[in-house]
Structure 1
Amino acid sequence: MKKIILVCFCLISCLGIAQEGEGEIKAIVVNAQTDTPMESVHVVNLNKVKGTITNKNGEFTIPAAVNDTLYFTFLGFKSQKVRITNDMFKFEDTKIALTELAYALEEVIVKPYQLTGYLEIDVKNLPINNAYQYSISGLSKSYEGGNKTPSAVTKVLGAILNPADLLRNLFGKKPNQMRKLRQMKEDDQIRDLLATKFDRETLMELLQLEKVDIDDILNNCNYSKSFIMTANDLQILDAISSCYEEYKVLNRKN
């Protein structure tokens, strides 16, 4: 009988240890300068890909575990990342302070083109486009490859001749991050946040990609430069997701 009681006690203890440090985090977001609560701050758990927003009292609740990272973002304030600790589960009055951004306006010098009205002179004064175009025999259009480097030619040929290999190179290096795409699309709070963002910052944190990686994926998935420059982060997410689905189809066929 004593052995049975001892075993049950051990099981209960192990269960208590397993549950410790996991559940829902409750905290308050405040303005670092005024210590006043901040409403409608977006809070994203980067590990669980879950999002929420603060209420009028600056309070929020979000699923989390110890060592998860919460990402806070609000227009006009510096984005912040906070690592979850056991103490945050024990005390519900944890405060997260956000700092306002200070924008320093620099002098902008506008240099208009000095046109003379003489074609031969004005043509020489216009800026030169250093992007190189590559054409392939049998194809009716040329392809822009950027600077004149061997990799530019390889990129163009890869996109045209073997899209499966190209997409494998793009997404195969980041399989874990790419799996988050579907989770991000299913969370309404994250979608609402991305619809208001144009800086790629939240996407970079969620996917653990650099901005240059995101631009490279979009470029190689045949999205136009105007789309890449003007689309909000939600549109960029959907574009990457669409390209990723295409990669999975092509990869499955191989």
Structure 2
Amino acid sequence: MKNYLLPLFILFISLGYSQNEKNETGLQQLKAVVANAQTDQPLESVHVVNLNQVVGTITNEQGEFQISAKVNDTLFFSFLGFKSQKVRVTNDMFKFKDTKISLTELAYALEEVIVRPYALTGYLEIDVKNLPLNNAFQYSISGLSVGYEAGSKNPSAVTKVLGAILNPADLLRNLFGKKPNQMRKLRQMKEDDQIRDLLASKFDRETLTELLQMEKVDIEDILNNCNYSKSFITTANDLQILDAISSCYEEFKVLNRKK
């Protein structure tokens, strides 16, 4: 009887220690499969990024991947020719080993868009009156190379205009100050090889905006105020843009310390 009790006692201690360790960190290894939504075939080399933990990985030949995560983390899936997707991590994804994430091909995703053409008559005088007007206005400020669009499409435009009028540095302080957690993640992004490889292959700023939780216009404003050329901003890949923002942020922190 004693021979049975000792192994059981060790087992309970081991389970208790593992449970405490999981509760302290909150991180577990999540395993799942990524497949084509149309064919149900596994997808290889899909980039998977945990936006909260700033770690990345890619799927193998069977579409399988493993990544550190915890409940309520957001996983971002990106693959050439497929619509990118964000998935919130749940308890069930850790409990069940057959979790499958399906990605939709862009060709099928575009078919779901409903296009409503304008009823044009062919007479210019009539058609011009029927076309909807864009109520947005653009403010140009003397000394600045960039205009700022206002109206219903950009509710934060007035704040940006006022910030630029006062001082371009105030605009940077406003943008960086609103996202302190995302700015602190810059170094983590640069250190993760999988994230760097993904950003180096992309030019659409999609993954970058998800990681930094910024709009494209905010990224452009940062780079404009850090004296990067328009050519660089429009042609650089996402990794180069990340490095530029990181460099700009480091300079911004040094200037703030001197004040």
| Deviates most, 31-40 or 219-228 | 219-228
- Partner SS state of residue 167, structure 2: helix
Contact 1:145 1:153 in 2 (8 A): no
Q: Counterpart amino acid of 1:146?
A: G
What TM-score, normalized by structure 2, do the two folds share? 0.72
User: 92, 99, 109: which one pairs with 1:94?
Assistant: 99
Match of 2:120 in 1: none
- Partner SS state of residue 212, structure 1: helix
Deviation of the 1:170 alpha carbon: 2.4
Q: Deviations over 1:8-31 (max 9, x none)?
A: x89975962662663111111110
Q: Are 2:235 and 1:234 equivalent residues in the alignment? A: no
* Larger Rg over CA atoms: 1
Distance across 2 between alignment mates of 1:57 and 1:184: 27
Q: Are 2:172 and 1:183 equivalent residues in the alignment? A: no
Distance across 2 between alignment mates of 1:88 and 1:133: 51
- Partner SS state of residue 31, structure 2: strand
- Partner SS state of residue 76, structure 1: coil
Distance across 1 between alignment mates of 2:190 and 2:223: 18
| Deviates most, 89-98 or 237-246 | 89-98
| Structure 2 CA distance for partners of 1:12 and 1:148, relative to 1, 3 Å | closer
Deviation of the 1:145 alpha carbon: 4.5
Match of 1:146 in 2: 147
Distance across 2 between alignment mates of 1:93 and 1:147: 49
The correspondence of residues 3-82 of structure 1 with structure 2, limited to 5 A, is 16=19, 19=22, 22-82=27-87
Contact 1:43 1:73 in 2 (8 A): yes
Distance across 2 between alignment mates of 1:184 and 1:246: 18
State, as a whole percentage, how many aligned pairs show the same letter: 70
Contact 1:131 1:146 in 2 (8 A): yes
Match of 1:203 in 2: 208
Runs (4+) of structure 1 exceeding 3 A deviation are 9-15, 130-134, 147-154
| Structure 2 CA distance for partners of 1:22 and 1:153, relative to 1, 3 Å | closer
Deviation of the 1:154 alpha carbon: 6.2
Count of residues in Structure 1 that have an aligned counterpart in Structure 2: 213
Q: Counterpart amino acid of 1:167?
A: L
Distance across 2 between alignment mates of 1:18 and 1:55: 29
Distance across 2 between alignment mates of 1:33 and 1:213: 36
Q: Deviations over 1:24-48 (max 9, x none)?
A: 1111111011111100000000010
| Structure 2 CA distance for partners of 1:65 and 1:153, relative to 1, 3 Å | closer
Q: Counterpart amino acid of 2:19?
A: G
Q: Are 2:155 and 1:155 equivalent residues in the alignment? A: no
| Structure 2 CA distance for partners of 1:132 and 1:80, relative to 1, 3 Å | closer
Contact 1:69 1:84 in 2 (8 A): yes
Contact 1:52 1:61 in 2 (8 A): yes
Distance across 1 between alignment mates of 2:52 and 2:186: 13
| Structure 2 CA distance for partners of 1:145 and 1:213, relative to 1, 3 Å | closer
Supply the RMSD in Å over aligned alpha carbons. Answer: 2.9
What TM-score, normalized by structure 1, do the two folds share? 0.74
